[in-house]
Amino acid sequence: MFCQQTLTILAVGVAVLVPLKKAEAQPTNAKATPLFNGKNFDGWYKYSSDKKVNAEDLIVMDPFEKHIIIKGTAPGYLITRKSYGNYEMNFEWRWALTREAPVKNPTANQQRKSGVLFHINSEEDIIWPQSIQAHLDYGRAGDLILVKGFKLSLKPERKDPQNARYFLRSHDGVEKPAGDWNQGTITCHGKFVSIKVNDTMVMAGREAETGSGRIALQSEAGEIHFRNITLRPLEGKPVDPEKDD
């Protein structure tokens, strides 16, 4: 009788433990869906603060390869109409080799500046809306800026001593030369944020003041291309990002 009761208790214990383990299971294997369909700009719109510039001409689609071309000749962005939260965003980008910028390893005076703005909750189009900016500047991809006072907890040693809202990536040498495609990953899960460049974790943050918002691809300086932009929804208990050191 004692053995039978013991086995019954153990069986109940196992039955209780199994659902607890499932409740803690982390990001599902949900499939990624395109954020840019490669056909048109449905779900997005274009904006430039320069009234002399037509945003429709500033941001176009390559008619043959079907990727996004942001010319970078004026400040602006391509922004989603919807807000998103709890996702893994994957995308590819490259800096164009043009007559004005033909060098694969440009010097500092050959500016190539852009980025991905995310967690945008302002309905007003301005340069630049409150958000987190993942830098794609040539030679600094993965650096991060907290725009308009956005609150996010980051390691103090990542802070740029020259700029309190600018945080430096944890690994250098992760980018490919201009003209080559790079892989970027931005993960937002609960209040956690992380950034990868070519599969290397370069930034991690916690306690974001908001966990969702619109997403924008920035036009600032130099021609940049984007393609294969997808979102994979994340579920379950948010996971603290890997340490960014």
**What are the sequence ranges of the domains in the chain?**
32-233
| pLDDT attached to residue 69 | 98
pLDDT tens-digit profile of 137-193?
A: 999 999 999 999 999 999 999 999 999 899 999 999 999 999 999 999 999 999 999
| pLDDT attached to residue 52 | 95
pTM above 0.75, yes or no: yes
pLDDT at 104 over 70: no
| pLDDT attached to residue 217 | 98
Beta bridge partners, 88, equal: 187, 232
- Residue 133 contacts residue 115 (beta carbons within 8 Å): yes
Residue 240 — pLDDT band, cuts 50, 70, 90?
confident
- Residue 179 contacts residue 104 (beta carbons within 8 Å): yes
**Average of pLDDT values for 221-241?**
94
Return the structure tokens found at 158: 């990542």
| Average pLDDT value over all residues in the chain | 87
- Between 245 and 127, the more confident residue is 127
Which of 8-12, 193-197, 199-203, 233-237 bottoms out in mean pLDDT, i.e. has the lowest?
8-12
Closest CA to 144 of 202, 98, 200: 202
| Distance separating alpha carbons of residues 136 and 73, to the nearest angstrom | 16
| pLDDT attached to residue 5 | 45
Q: Please, which residues have CB within 8 angstroms of residue 12's CB and are 6 or more apart in sequence?
A: none
pLDDT at 55 over 70: yes
Which residues in 117-147 are b (16+ Cβ under 10 Å) and which e?
bbbbeeeebebbbbbbbbbbbbebbbbbbbb
Which of 8-12, 229-233, 239-243 bottoms out in mean pLDDT, i.e. has the lowest?
8-12
Closest CA to 226 of 38, 126, 90, 94: 94
| pLDDT attached to residue 101 | 64
Domain 32-233, CATH: 2.60.120.560
pLDDT at 216 over 90: yes
DSSP 131-183: EEEEE--TT-TT-EEEETT---B--GGGEETTEEEEE--S-SS-SPPTTS-EE
Closest CA to 132 of 215, 199, 44, 244: 215
pLDDT tens-digit profile of 27-46?
A: 457 899 999 999 999 999 99
Return the structure tokens found at 225: 């291309």
